Amino acid sequence: MTTQQLQEQIQTKKSFLCIGLDVDLNKIPEHLLATEDPIFEFNKAIIDATHDLCVSYKPNTAFYEAYGITGWKSLEKTINYINEKYPEIFTIADAKRGDIGNTSSMYARAFFKDLNFDSVTVAPYMGKDSVEPFLAFEDKHTIMLALTSNEGAFDFQTQNVDGKELYKVVLETSKTWKNSQNLMYVVGATKAEYFTEIRKIVPDSFLLVPGVGAQGGSLAEVCKYGMNENVGLLINSSRGIIYASNGTDFAEKARTEAMKLQQEMAEIIK
Amino acid sequence: MTTQQLQEQIQTKKSFLCIGLDVDLNKIPEHLLATEDPIFEFNKAIIDATHDLCVSYKPNTAFYEAYGITGWKSLEKTINYINEKYPEIFTIADAKRGDIGNTSSMYARAFFKDLNFDSVTVAPYMGKDSVEPFLAFEDKHTIMLALTSNEGAFDFQTQNVDGKELYKVVLETSKTWKNSQNLMYVVGATKAEYFTEIRKIVPDSFLLVPGVGAQGGSLAEVCKYGMNENVGLLINSSRGIIYASNGTDFAEKARTEAMKLQQEMAEIIK
């Protein structure tokens, strides 16, 4: 998917909502556990109930790997379902990968070709040659961690590197890499006041923003400081939407929560 | 596996060799491609031919994920084979994972419980709460990236943070985390001169050292600066051993290459 197609979808749906499909079998409605593939059935119901309110789905691979091969099958079925039924959706494999060059190429192949995701999240610690193999894929997007939503972000990301915080060095350096136009960045909503500085470095890039809802970030604050003229934001909510109810009405309640966010977004876009 | 058991194995085998099982279907002997599970058959032959010369096997998950569910099945069969037939071997899932706390817990579960690896590699960028969920597992080990073997290591890892290189800050900070006794660190062999400084910070920790062989690092140099009184090193070689031949003699040739390294190591331990 091209960036322009994503932007058009945002305008059409008046939404820049990304729904995180982080499925924990301990949290999903009990009646689904009797089905052959509870994770997929849960995702399918959530997707059918919310696809017109969001522009993106983001399964976090950890939640699938934790169930071994069964989990990977559920992941594969989920991405195939989205790609076939709702091809306009921007899909994100939240995998936070990164390795030496020839190994990162294998990860890129796994997520971009084998699973056919539109994008994958990567970690920056290993530098240029760990990220460029992802950037080499045309019409695919690489979403690099910049400033994350967790407490541990303050351990290294905000450390002072020659007068500048590390995450800023990461942002600036990444702009010099080959095919850097395919980069997007993860910036946590829990750190809204940082968006002004970040927009000075990457004014045009899309930012994937976790941390709204369960982690305490505010949508209005993020938009105030982080939005650009093309919106340029994908706001992720996972638990707040998908676990809105653990009864048989879970999909309906997920839709209600997604709609609240979408309506807030429609107001902001206007 | 406890650290002491690993140390005993090193003394018994007079080896601190780790063999990287990074299987690329384009590089393995053609006759294996006709078997039902070429990746597993390749690994099994390599393992049977080298298990007495090495103390550890390290499959890099990228090479398995690239083949989707088929690849994950091969990974599962490989780790099960090692655990059943050679339980003395220290197994490493080279996965370079890391995410917010509840998500890292899912990764820890995937590699420590579901697949039953002895250890997993993790990336430090997201800080304390992204690593501690791994450290919580007793008799399991978390191998954190410190200074990697690739060129991109110089992009961020060696940046000056208030007068000190970032990788040193990473090493020092990690020592303050809960259950930090379960930490080991990745330090690339291509940067042998750095080991002296690293040993000042983590004198007792095991260091997993990639980059000997194909990437150009020297075993003698690494040992000179990096070894401690318990050896404290796991030297990884992947391509130099497993692709020593792509004929029907691949396992035999892999043994020859592994033995060269093991004999060099036996001399050094003496």
By the CB < 8 Å criterion, does A114 face chain B?
Answer: yes
- Kindly tell me if the per-residue pLDDT of B193 is higher than 90: no
Q: Tell me, what's the pLDDT at A190?
A: 85
pLDDT for A191: 82
Percentage of chain B exceeding pLDDT 70: 99
CA separation for the pair A124, A171 (Å, rounded): 10
DSSP H helical ranges for B136-231: 153-156, 166-174, 195-201, 219-226
Task: Choose the closest CB to B156 out of A127, A153, A155.
Answer: A127
Q: Is A156 on the interface with B (CB under 8 A)?
A: yes
For residue A122, the distance in angstroms to the closest alpha carbon of chain B comes to: 10
Residue ranges of chain A with per-residue pLDDT less than 70: 214
**Angle at which helices A128-135 and A101-108 cross, to 10°:** 30
B215 pLDDT more than 80: no
State ipTM: 0.96
CA distance A26 to A9: 34
Of A69, A98, A149, the CB nearest to B73: A69
Decide: A244 and A253 in contact? Cβ < 8 Å. yes
Domains and CATH numbers, chain A: 3-269 (3.20.20.70)
For B79-124, write each residue's pLDDT tens digit: 999 999 999 999 999 999 999 999 999 999 999 999 999 999 999 9
Residues A77, A120, A256, CA angle at the centre, nearest 5°? 60
Residues A26, A243 contacting (CB under 8 angstroms):
no
Which has the closest alpha carbon to A194: A209, A182, A184?
Answer: A209
Q: Which of A77, A96, A128, A224 is catalytic?
A: A96
Closest alpha carbon to B90 in B57, B59, B112, B114:
B57
Mean pLDDT of B66-78: 96
CB A265 within 8 A of CB A16: yes
pLDDT at A217: 79
Residue B177 has pLDDT above 80, yes or no: yes
Q: Over chain B, what is the mean pLDDT?
A: 96
Catalytic residue numbers of B, as ranges: 96
Q: Within the 187-246 window of chain A, which residues sit less than 8 Å (CB to CB) from chain B? A: 215
Q: What gap in Å lies between CA B265 and CA B270, rounded to an integer? A: 9
Q: What pLDDT is recorded for position B156?
A: 98
B128 → chain A, closest CA residue: A152
The answer for residues whose C-beta is within 8 angstroms of residue B96's C-beta and 6 or more apart is A97, A98, A99, A123, A126, B121, B122, B123, B145
Which chain A residues are closer than 8 Å to B66 by Cβ? 106-107, 109-110, 114
Determine the average pLDDT of the residues in B215-220. 82
Q: What is the pLDDT of residues B218-242, one digit of tens each?
A: 899 999 999 999 999 999 999 999 9
pLDDT at B190 over 90: no
Q: What pLDDT score does B270 carry?
A: 87
Is the Cβ pair B125, A125 closer than 8 Å? yes
- Chain A touched by B126 (CB under 8 Å): yes
